[in-house]
Amino acid sequence: MVASQYLPPWFSVAPMMDWTDNHYRTLARLISKHAWLYTEMLAAETIIYQQGNLDRFLAFSPEQHPIVLQIGGSNLDNLAKATELANAYNYDEINLNCGCPSPKVAGHGCFGVSLMLDPKFVGEAMSVIAANTNVPVSVKCRIGVDDHDSYNQLCDFIYKVSSLSPTRHFIIHSRKALLNGISPAENRTIPPLKYEYYYALLRDFPDLTFTLNGGINTVDEVNAALRKGAHHVMVGRAAYQNPWYTLGHVDTAIYGAPSSGLTRRQVVEKYQVYGDAILGTYGNNRPHVRDVMKPLLHFFHSEPGNGLFKRKADAAFQTCKTVKSFLEETIVAIPDSVLDSPIEEAPRGREDLFADVHDLLPPPYKAREQEVLYAY
């Protein structure tokens, strides 16, 4: 598989630890055929140390294409080996995590967003990754780290990484990261969004491709960003916490393609077949029903019966050994009108989200000679 076989990543689902696993991606692909999907971040060391068990971490069904593998790490040899091992699974792109603010990643692991402080290493890492794969490579980063948060510093990072490696695609989370004093969850809400930095990058690096990430919750807002000139847009929590109404409109409203036409009942039936087939395949009774059903707990977000469905799910997890029996115990909480009706109109977004973004652009970036020399 190669990425050119697919429509562009105008809409992608962000890599999210403990969320965008194989189960969630299976559900997501039943809802949208064209959204680009990302794996959870996998540490290069995990891929290497699990060579005898790689299917558990890297395998996915062909239907999940287009799909991007996100890896994390700060050791060049390990990044090279992990990329080489992943080649057998035919991902459509390899992405390096330079944006995770978790202390376990950015602090003790010395990767994630802390890598933004060492763009020369990131350039070397991306060169190593690219040398060990035949698919495109990309970087996901923030707009800054702690007090290293000026637009020029962001541009220095982009300039150095793109100059030192074949990287031509950057996913920009439009918040900086604070490494001390706040949690990863707070890092998704407390630092202010600066979409103007993203749009300035489009102006200053016309030869590169950028995906906008951060604070975008509806297909309506994705289209607003695209109308303002964004190359691509990535959505995170909304695609997980409300998958039916977020992903259900992607194919039609963003790609102009036909809807799958599936009702929620039909999606659940297809997902049940997948779930019962995968139970226990990792060994030691993993995955179990709770693992497989986790993404479906958000499938009826804000609908009548959702609260009762979740209460029944809590009880069913204690006794059910199959997805079929779990659904028999729980789905009765959801009215037929919800299960069988076609998807309704997409939720409206915030109309002013990007209204004045082009009036806020920082001054154009000019690479300073000393920065060029430092990069090399």
Which residues are annotated as catalytic?
A: 100
Query: CB-side exposure of 136: number of CA atoms within 13 Å?
Result: 17
Tokens of 242: 């409300």
What six digits make up the tokens of 214?
Answer: 């951060």
Q: How far apart are CA 4 and CA 12, in angstroms?
A: 16
What H or E segment, with its residue span, contains residue 145?
Answer: none
Written as six digits, the tokens of 82 are: 């992990």
Residue 110 CB: number of other CB atoms within 10 A? 13
CA 52/CA 150 separation, integer angstroms: 45
Give the N- to C-terminal CA distance of the chain in Å, as an integer. Answer: 34
CA distance 74 to 109: 8
202 contacts: CB under 8 Å, gap ≥ 6:
210, 229, 230, 231
Return the closest-CA partner of residue 301 out of 247, 370, 254, 251: 247
CA separation (Å) from 163 to 119, 150, 171? 10, 20, 17
Annotated binding-site ranges for FMN:
15-17, 70, 140, 173, 213-215, 236-237
Q: Who's near 130: CB < 8 A, 6+ residues apart?
A: 137, 165, 166, 167
The token duo for 246 is 């977020």
Which residue in the block uniquely carries the two structure tokens 């799909």?
67
Measured CA to CA in angstroms, residue 77 lies from 84, 89, 128, 173 at distances of 11, 20, 8, 27
Annotated binding site: 15-17, 70, 140, 173, 213-215, 236-237
Closest CA to 335 of 367, 303, 288: 303
Q: In terms of Cα–Cα distance, which of 129, 106, 104, 127 is closest to 116? A: 106
